Structure 1
Amino acid sequence: MPEKLKNNRAIAMLDAAADGGYGVLGIVSYNLETIVAAVRAAERKRSPIQILLFPWAIHYANGLLVNLAADACRSASVPITLHMDHAQEEDIIVKAADMQTQGQNSFDSIMIDMSHYEKEENLAKTKKLVAHCHARGIATEAEPGRIEGGEDGVKDTAELEGLLTTPEEAQEFIDTGIDFLAPAFGNVHGNYYGVKNIKLDYPRLDSIHRKAKGQVRIVLHGTNEFPPDILQKCIKSGVTRINVNKLVLHKYNAYVEENTGKVPLTELMEKGTQLIQGLIEEHMDIIGSTGKA
């Protein structure tokens, strides 16, 4: 491990999860309500978490939302780290890596997502950007293969063929120096339109984990609609961080759609925050991180 990464909080958090056999939620956050809900849930359940922002957050608020999230992470009474997820442009990765909040790196980790390029160019760009992040003490993540679909704030890859990760390809990306690996094994971004349509290749995930063990940590994308048993099975197959979006936001989304303009804005925000917090706490119990902070 590079010297500058020895105190990286995101790496330490996922190392502890791997050693303890539990998962850590990576909570996709678009607004104040989600960030507040995540911190409250983590402190109430004494659970580590990672807050995830997309590059949209930098474009939208010129760093203000990043500063808010970074300060929330640093001031919490339990370990919380800030991750830039699906950074798909070189300039935004460099900008995120160079951002500072109160004299510290704003981000603990950054996903270098070059999966929209062909593999050789993906590998070359990933290696260069990993070096840039590591020089600043920031952990990195990459996606071997290509996970299909899209989410709010992420470039949709629907026009590109999904490519499942092989153990050999995983090693090629590990060799770029990354710290976290996000494999494609049947998981997709967005909706599955029913649990019956979730078709995960667990033997493939197991083989990737065997290849990655002792080198990098496995993280899981594309969890919309995943029931508890699937989440727990993924953890047994080596997953450490579980990215969640609609899995913890669906009640909030429905409430806001139903009540916007009907109740005071402050009530809308407070009730919405409570709905997100409740689902986060529920999933902390499911993936075993409760009490691990």
Structure 2
Amino acid sequence: MADWKESNTTRQILAAAEQGQYGVIAAIAYNLEQILGLVRAAEKAKSPLILQFFPWAITFSDGLLIRTGADAARRATVPVAIHLDHAQDEALIRHAADTLPFDSIMVDMSHHEKEENLKKTKELVAYCHARHIYTEAEPGRIEGGEDGVQDTAGLLASMTTPDEIEDFLATGVDALAPAFGNVHGEYGPQGPQLDYETLAKIREQIGGRVRMVLHGTNGFPPDVMKKCIAAGMTKINVNRLSLDDYYTHLKKRVGTAPHTTIIEEGVDAVVAQTVGWMEICGSAGKA
């Protein structure tokens, strides 16, 4: 392992999680209130945190949201990593790696056919590694899409296969987000229909060579989350699980309270909801 990886914050957080058999919340932030709420939640729970941004945050704010998140991470009293999730544009990945303070980047070429996906992933993983950035990729294809992610909705899903695992490990990537029935976005009335047998086989084949990442947690009940973590997931991507109460609060309070009060209460809503999931995932008290 290259020396830089030993001091990379994302790698340190996930290595400790794997050893301790708990999951670390990797939460998407769209604005300042959510950045503050997520970091304060980590400090309150004494938990590590991975603060995630979609590429939208770069193009929308010219990187301001990412720099703000990185400043909050530096000031935090617990380990906080800055991660770019579902980066699907090659030029943007290079721009992010060159100019923005990311600890890790998900190189998501899953919208390409397999050979092109692997070729581009290998090139971009090497580019990120040369800049001391930890990497993540998606073997197989996880169905669906989320607000802030382009080009995933409507693509045909496919379970991760043993061959795909070896092909992706050959790219040099550091973490893998397998497809085992999980979906981006909403599951619908039937809820998550996960193939734990496939997940167990994926974990066995990986054999600790890279970390495992859980995508598609919207609507997960605590027992499903705990089962995925017991199956080896260390990086737990969340969106609505940390932000639903924030949006409910906005709908309720806009027009009935001062703007500053709404902002402060919104931060508190993110803190409360996220602390609860840190406790469920077992990371509380681990920082």
* TM-score clears 0.5: yes
Aligned residues: 287
* Correspondence list, 1:34-183, <5 A: 34-100=34-100, 106-183=101-178
- C-alpha separation in 1, matches of 2:3 and 2:130: 9
Q: How far did 1:157 drift?
A: 2.3
- C-alpha separation in 1, matches of 2:264 and 2:209: 42
2:191 touches 2:219 (CA, 8 Å); kept in 1?
no
- The residue number in structure 1 matching 2:211 is 217
2:136 touches 2:173 (CA, 8 Å); kept in 1?
yes
1:149 touches 1:156 (CA, 8 Å); kept in 2?
no
- C-alpha separation in 1, matches of 2:74 and 2:248: 31
Structure 1's unaligned 5+ residue stretches are 101-105
Q: 3-state SS of the aligned residue for 1:111?
A: strand
- Structure 1 range deviating more: 124-133 or 252-261: 252-261
User: If the length of structure 1 is used for normalisation, what is the TM-score?
Assistant: 0.96
Q: Which amino acid aligns with 1:222?
A: G
- C-alpha separation in 2, matches of 1:246 and 1:4: 33
2:162 touches 2:202 (CA, 8 Å); kept in 1?
yes
Q: Which amino acid aligns with 1:17?
A: A
C-alpha root-mean-square deviation of aligned residues, in Å? 1.0
Instruction: Find out whether 1:28 has 2:28 as its counterpart.
Output: yes
Q: After superposition, what is the alpha-carbon deviation per residue over 1:215-261, rounded to whole angstroms, capped at 9, x for unaligned? A: 10000010001011101100111100111101111111122123223
User: Alignment partner for residue 220 of structure 2, among 213, 219, 226?
Assistant: 226
Q: Percent identity?
A: 53
User: Alignment partner for residue 257 of structure 1, among 251, 254, 262?
Assistant: 251
- C-alpha separation in 2, matches of 1:234 and 1:41: 22
Question: Hey, which bits of structure 1, 4+ residues long, moved more than 6 A?
Answer: none
Instruction: Find out whether 1:5 has 2:5 as its counterpart.
Output: yes
- C-alpha separation in 2, matches of 1:154 and 1:261: 30
Q: 3-state SS of the aligned residue for 1:26?
A: strand
Structure 2's unaligned 5+ residue stretches are none
- C-alpha separation in 1, matches of 2:200 and 2:150: 28
Q: After superposition, what is the alpha-carbon deviation per residue over 1:181-230, rounded to whole angstroms, capped at 9, x for unaligned? A: 00111000111123x33100001111111111221000001000101110
Q: How far did 1:178 drift?
A: 0.5
- The residue number in structure 2 matching 1:235 is 229
1:41 touches 1:281 (CA, 8 Å); kept in 2?
yes
- The residue number in structure 1 matching 2:180 is 185
Instruction: Find out whether 1:285 has 2:264 as its counterpart.
Output: no
Q: 3-state SS of the aligned residue for 1:292?
A: coil
Instruction: Find out whether 1:275 has 2:269 as its counterpart.
Output: yes
2:242 touches 2:274 (CA, 8 Å); kept in 1?
yes
- C-alpha separation in 2, matches of 1:189 and 1:87: 15
- C-alpha separation in 1, matches of 2:191 and 2:45: 32
2:111 touches 2:151 (CA, 8 Å); kept in 1?
no
Q: 3-state SS of the aligned residue for 1:107?
A: coil
- C-alpha separation in 2, matches of 1:224 and 1:142: 20
Q: After superposition, what is the alpha-carbon deviation per residue over 1:92-148, rounded to whole angstroms, capped at 9, x for unaligned? A: 100111124xxxxx0000000000000100000000000000001100000011111
Q: How far did 1:274 drift?
A: 0.7
- C-alpha separation in 2, matches of 1:77 and 1:99: 25
Q: Which amino acid aligns with 1:29?
A: A
Q: How far did 1:262 drift?
A: 2.5
- C-alpha separation in 1, matches of 2:123 and 2:151: 24
1:146 touches 1:164 (CA, 8 Å); kept in 2?
yes
Q: How far did 1:12 drift?
A: 1.1
User: If the length of structure 2 is used for normalisation, what is the TM-score?
Assistant: 0.98
1:51 touches 1:83 (CA, 8 Å); kept in 2?
yes
2:176 touches 2:212 (CA, 8 Å); kept in 1?
yes
